[in-house]
């Protein structure tokens, strides 16, 4: 029995998976981000979530072989790391668990723990990959330092374009009307008050504006499409830096998968992203993700325990995950 935990800025997902790939239970709780709820709050979310997960499956904690906790912002503060590592210790006093950054969940889910790279483009952007047992992250510096190609990055750039269109520094396009109608203000400058005062520059709300940019791009707006092309170029650069750090052999095929809301934009991101990848290295293999991050966490827990899922177990898990969605 393996537990996977996928922490996020808004929610925490839990999954219990048997060694043969059966999906025994799922649970969703509030965020476990210590930046939002503090260390005590994060500990409480994790402990209560694991207990709720096991209650749903009627599996005692003693039967769980290993757990993996993918936590937001893990590894980004050396002083916080040992505290984060200790959060699940009361549940697993034998130490049969590991904590790390939630980026690992996305990689483990998208590629089923196979060598390769996963790029996350959600509210922020970050990549993680492995090659021959070595793991490397790239990006993930946050909105002040980077998060290039992320939903926040696109949303902020969309607001920048709106300001230029409003001033006459740039011709108005459908993106202008989409943003103006979204805020419903009589004066364009009133949007500053909404974003800066009402929203307090909230990262998630600005990131959500990327959906307006995606709508405009899908309708053929040249400025919005350029924003997604620029985002794709930035994301490909993150992937390529990861490849070089992982020291894949020249000419070796490198699987690349993806996760995060930016990729829900469809063709307007995939077409330029694929082209940008090919321009940097001709042997990338872009693949659709096999599993969600929380299931990836459970698959990774099995790997850590020395019981890596074989293809039969992975097929069972894929079928069960699909049936649960249906």
Q: Do domains 2-111+291-325 and 113-289 have the same CATH topology?
A: yes
Over 50: is that where the pLDDT of 326 sits?
A: no
Note the pLDDT of residue 176. 95
Over 90: is that where the pLDDT of 103 sits?
A: yes
Cβ atoms < 10 Å from Cβ of 266: 11
User: What's the predicted TM-score (pTM) here?
Assistant: 0.89
Average pLDDT over residues 228-240: 97
Note the pLDDT of residue 13. 96
Separation CA 127–CA 148 (nearest Å): 11
Per DSSP, the residues of 149-192 read TSHHHHHHHHHHHHHHHHHTSS---HHHHHHHHHHT-SSTTHHH
Separation CA 222–CA 199 (nearest Å): 28
Average pLDDT over residues 211-216: 96
Residue ranges covered by each domain of the chain: 2-111+291-325, 113-289
Note the pLDDT of residue 325. 54
Span 274-319, pLDDT tens digits: 999 999 999 999 999 999 999 999 999 999 999 999 999 999 999 9
20 CB burial (10 A radius; 0-12, 13-18, 19+): exposed
| DSSP, res 249 | P
Region 2-111+291-325: CATH code? 3.30.420.40
Span 214-230, pLDDT tens digits: 999 999 999 999 999 99
Percent of the chain with pLDDT over 70: 99
Span 23-43, pLDDT tens digits: 999 999 999 999 889 999 999
CATH 3.40.50.300 correct for 113-289? no
Note the pLDDT of residue 204. 87
- Judge whether 150 and 125 are in contact, CB under 8 Å: yes
């Amino acid at each position: 029995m393996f537990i996977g935990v996928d922490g996020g800025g808004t929610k925490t997902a839990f999954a219990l998976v048997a060694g043969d790939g059966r999906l025994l239970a799922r649970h969703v709780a509030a965020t476990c981000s210590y930046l939002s709820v503090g260390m005590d709050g994060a500990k409480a979310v994790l402990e209560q979530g694991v207990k709720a997960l096991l209650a749903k499956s009627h599996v005692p904690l003693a039967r769980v072989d290993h757990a993996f906790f993918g936590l937001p912002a893990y590894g980004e503060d050396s002083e916080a790391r040992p505290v984060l590592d200790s959060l699940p210790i009361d549940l697993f006093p034998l130490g049969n668990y590991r904590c790390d950054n939630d980026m690992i969940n996305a990689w483990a889910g998208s590629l089923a723990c196979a060598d390769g790279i996963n790029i996350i483009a959600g509210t922020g952007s970050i990549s993680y990959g492995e090659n021959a047992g070595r793991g490397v992250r790239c990006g993930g510096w946050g909105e002040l330092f980077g998060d290039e190609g992320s939903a926040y990055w696109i949303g902020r750039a969309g607001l920048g374009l709106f300001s230029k269109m409003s001033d006459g520094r740039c011709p108005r396009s459908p993106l202008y009307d989409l943003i103006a109608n979204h805020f419903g203000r009589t004066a364009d400058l009133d949007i500053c008050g909404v974003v800066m005062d009402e929203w307090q520059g909230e990262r998630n709300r600005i990131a959500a504006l990327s959906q307006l940019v995606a709508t405009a791009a899908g309708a053929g707006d040249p400025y919005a499409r350029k924003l997604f092309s620029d985002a794709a170029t930035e994301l490909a650069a993150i992937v390529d830096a990861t490849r070089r750090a992982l020291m894949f052999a020249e000419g070796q095929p490198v699987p690349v998968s993806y996760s995060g809301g930016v990729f829900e934009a469809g063709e307007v991101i995939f077409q330029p992203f694929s082209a940008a990848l090919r321009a940097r290295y001709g042997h990338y293999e872009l693949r659709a993700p096999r599993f969600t991050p929380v299931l990836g966490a459970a698959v990774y827990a099995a790997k850590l325990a020395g019981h890596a899922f074989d293809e039969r177990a992975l097929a069972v898990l894929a079928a069960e995950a699909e049936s649960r969605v249906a």
